Structure 1
């Protein structure tokens, strides 16, 4: 009986260590992109405090950081890895993540909202809200970052 318990404990330990390793390996590119983007922005802008990081993969990959500058003004900093162009928005000029989620809930009545990301679509700043519909199918509701105006819906994926 002792050998069985020791075997189970060892097996469980290997499974837990393996799961942690897999998670860290899968999360490493995201963490690296976040760290590199924050460092890049800290060197080239007045970014002082980071609140959120968004990674958008559309036509163009965009990394976005929401945070505060040295004057404690809330800003949104968008970076395109290709070329390193930086676009900055004052938080007062844009639709918040909560508002983007609310607009999506009202328009699409999703079963569950999975996440919201900031990005660029045809050089237009957007919120892309990902959700599951009533059939558990994936959907994207895309609105303009500044106006909250609907731009595109992709449903039943």
Structure 2
């Protein structure tokens, strides 16, 4: 009788160990690309935007173009956004005091659209790579995916897509 219980315990612990291992592998694979993108963007922001203290990170994906934005401060304490293209070939450095913040962009969408849940706020560039935009992605009250693009400069809505 004791051998059967000991055998069952061993099997239980082996199954539990395998499940824990699979969960760790799954989450490492899922989070790996984001962490790698963040590390690369941060290194470029430190080198070219002279950001010395990173405070936040955003991802922005619009069609074929995407951006990784590192938020931080330079040696003078000025808050900056380093907007790095997906291919790491172009970096736009923006002074935070020249535009609206992520919170202001999100608050504008929340106040106007009353979403059920905000999924993401990210800073990127328009299709031509000239104008910085905040993207707020959210679920509306019906649970449909929606997004709003707002100008970084003044927070004006430039594009909205509802009920995807």
TM (norm. structure 2) is: 0.88
Any residues of structure 2 matched to 1:8-157 within 5 Å, and which?
Answer: 8-59=12-63, 60-82=65-87, 84-122=89-127, 123=129, 124-157=131-164
Q: Number of residue pairs matched? A: 157
In 2, Cα distance between equivalents of 1:43 and 1:100? 28
In structure 2, the gaps of 5 or more residues are: none
Q: In the TM superposition, what whole-angstrom CA distance separates every residue of 1:97-120 from its partner, at most 9, and x where no partner exists? A: 111111011111111111201111
Highest Rg: 1 or 2? 2
User: Once the 2 structures are TM-superposed, how far is the Cα of residue 45 of structure 1 from its aligned partner?
Assistant: 2.6
- Retained in 2: the 8 A contact 1:118–1:126? yes
- Retained in 2: the 8 A contact 1:58–1:120? no
User: Once the 2 structures are TM-superposed, how far is the Cα of residue 155 of structure 1 from its aligned partner?
Assistant: 1.4
More moved, 111-120 vs 80-89: 80-89
In 1, Cα distance between equivalents of 2:53 and 2:88? 24
User: Once the 2 structures are TM-superposed, how far is the Cα of residue 7 of structure 1 from its aligned partner?
Assistant: 2.1
Greater than 4 Å deviation, 4+ residue runs:
none
In structure 1, the gaps of 5 or more residues are: none
SS at match of 1:107: helix
Q: CA RMSD in A?
A: 1.5
